Chain A
Amino acid sequence: FMEPRPPTPSSLPSKLTVNFVLPYAAELSKAEVDMVIVPATTGQMGILPGHVPTIAELKPGLLSVHEGNDVKKYFISSGFAFVHSNSYADILAVEAVPLDRIDPAQVQKGLSEFTQKLNSASTDLDKAEAQIGVDVHSALNSALTG
């Protein structure tokens, strides 16, 4: 059903094969690209062909897929990136949205709303929820501008 990956070639492959999956669909399946930049919890991480096998946890942020001069950007909520030894990358995201479908005005509104909630939060739960809202919206904001 999902074909097994080819064995590690002896020379460096020129393209990175990406499987970008969501719980309800496969966004990209075996797409041959030049580079993928993922928002790992430790920072933005670029994956090129021949990258060392890695497992990384992702935080809400910008995911960009570079193919020649073409760049496709998605905002993902969280997930994992799994790079294998033969230039195959599996990116799992819980939720992902192409950047052009996000409304900047809504993002600004959400950000100010949550910042206000954070300032007026009284219980720990409220504070935590407001903080999450602020984090996600500021990540969205920087994704849209960056």
Chain B
Amino acid sequence: MKLVAAAKVRRAQEAVVNARPFSETLVEVLYSINEQLQTEDVDVPLTNVRPVKKVALVVVTGDRGLCGGFNNFILKKAEARIRELKTLGLDYVVISVGKKGNSYFLRRPNIPVDKFLDGSNLPTAKEAQAIADDVFSLFVSEEVDKVELLYTKFVSLVKSDPVIHTLLPLSPKGEICDINGVCVDAAEDEFFRLTTKEGKLTVERDVIRAETMDFSPILQFEQDPVQILDALLPLYLNSQILRALQESLASELAARMTAMGNATDNASELKKNLSRVYNRQRQAKITGEILEIVAGADALA
């Protein structure tokens, strides 16, 4: 199972890599529009900053077990965040993605859940769109004032980090902020690569800064820039969610790899110990029988 999971991590990694040109180009377009609109007032509903009364939490978990503490970590983080929000006096609603999270929240009817969605083996733009649609309608209808995304960030094959990112309101510059207000520039992008080092599978993390070219002052807009921004931001939202789903999947697979690897090692060791005990017993019995026979022969002789 460890090898199956390893092959799947590679595929998950490829999916992230393939999705990269799309989101990079999207960020570039976003940047150039912002350059042009610096003096204008941008009124796009997705970037509205309102005083927060209700928060939506999108919790991404896995579909299956046998992955160690993966699902547990993210659910514990979700619970901690809910407690925090309660002490701040804020209302909350949960959108659960993934069968494990779904069954967890189903067993706890005291936590309001807006929607249950199943995760999948290969997150596509379609699944991300379903989540994006739900989140979009909740935010634009002013039912919630802030949307946070809880997913597991892929750090290395043995380590993954549950993180909380603020999804909405989007900053018009496309910055990605986590709950502590630490913002990462959208042009800066971290990505991981599954490689081999000294014959062992390892992961290398790289930070790539997308080239933000000098923008031409004669850049023509076929449509009104604000209209383009309006159409662009939902697409950007979608790519953010897709990215989170892909990273979560990769972390889940890595956790499964480690858990199954450990299980295999433990099983081998157990097998060795048990064989040893078995052989010892067998030898002891044989020795006993030989002794009996020898003693019997002696007694006769």
> B-contacting residues of A (Cβ < 8 Å)?
1-2, 4-5, 19, 21-26, 29, 40-42, 45, 52-57, 80, 82, 84-85, 90, 92, 94-95
Contacts and interface: CB of A to CB of B under 8 A. Distances in A.
25 contacts: A2-B20, A2-B21, A2-B210, A21-B21, A21-B22, A23-B22, A23-B23, A23-B125, A23-B239, A24-B19, A26-B22, A40-B222, A41-B222, A42-B223, A54-B219, A55-B33, A55-B219, A55-B221, A80-B26, A80-B29, A80-B231, A84-B216, A92-B29, A92-B235, A94-B235
Nearest to A40: B222
B66 to A, nearest CB: 27
Interface in B204-243: 208, 210-211, 213, 215-216, 218-223, 225, 227-228, 231-232, 235, 238-239, 242
Nearest to A5: B213
Given A23-B22, A41-B223, 6 more contacts: A2-B210, A21-B21, A25-B18, A40-B223, A53-B219, A90-B28
What bracket does the count of chain B residues touching chain A fall in?
35 or more
B193 to A, nearest CB: 10
Interface in B174-222: 191, 208, 210-211, 213, 215-216, 218-222
B24 interface: yes
A54 B220 contact: yes
Contacts of A19: 21, 25
B129 to A, nearest CB: 9
A60 to B, nearest CB: 13
B217 to A, nearest CB: 9
Nearest to A45: B222
Contact of A57 (B125, B216, B223): B223
A55 B232 CA distance: 11
B221 A54 contact: yes
A66 B97 CA distance: 43
B213 A84 contact: yes
Contact of B26 (A53, A54, A56, A92): A92
Contacts of A24: 15, 18-19, 22, 124-125
A118 B242 CA distance: 33
A13 to B, nearest CB: 15
A118 to B, nearest CB: 22
Nearest to A52: B220
B32 interface: yes
Nearest to B128: A23
B88 to A, nearest CB: 35
Considering residues B23, B210, B235, which has the most beta carbons from chain A within 10 angstroms of its beta carbon? B235
Contacts of B235: 80, 92, 94
